[in-house]
Amino acid sequence: SPWLRAAAMAAGAPPPLQPSPLPVFSEEGFGDKFLRKTRENPLVPLGCLCTVGVLTYGLISFKRGNTRRSQLMMRARILAQGFTFAALLGGMVVTAVKSRK
């Protein structure tokens, strides 16, 4: 309708004919990405380190024949993995909430 076109023209300058340039992102290496992700959610790498540490100690105990300690460490490994998973999910929820704002 002519009234809408006239109102749109009176509202301001027309949009530019050429599209605006796309933002340029720098290549992020593995180390840079790892550090950024660690800063964003430091509990995940901590949980991974705990899991690996408990698993290693459990395997050493198993090799030495200390089956009681080995079983205890395997149960502790499950707890450490659960903590890591919860930290990962928590970080994803926080990131999703931040992106909505």
Q: Is residue 47 part of a domain?
A: no
- pLDDT tens, residue by residue, 45-100: 999 999 999 999 999 999 999 999 999 999 999 999 999 999 999 999 988 898 88
Q: Is residue 54 part of a domain?
A: no
Q: Is residue 96 part of a domain?
A: yes
| Domain count along the chain | 1
pLDDT the model gives residue 21: 73
In this structure, are residues 47 and 87 in contact, taking their beta carbons and an 8 Å threshold?
Answer: yes
Q: What is the DSSP string of 33-69?
A: HHHHHHHH-THHHHHHHHHHHHHHHHHHHHHTT-HHH
Name the amino acid, one letter, at 5: R
Domain containing 87: what range?
Answer: 72-100
In this structure, are residues 76 and 58 in contact, taking their beta carbons and an 8 Å threshold?
Answer: yes
Q: Is residue 76 part of a domain?
A: yes
Q: Is residue 89 part of a domain?
A: yes
Q: Is residue 66 part of a domain?
A: no
Q: Is residue 78 part of a domain?
A: yes
Long-range contacts of 6-12 (CB under 8 A, 24+ apart): none
Q: Is residue 87 part of a domain?
A: yes
Hey, is 1 helix, strand or coil? coil
- pLDDT tens, residue by residue, 10-36: 666 666 677 777 777 678 888 888 888
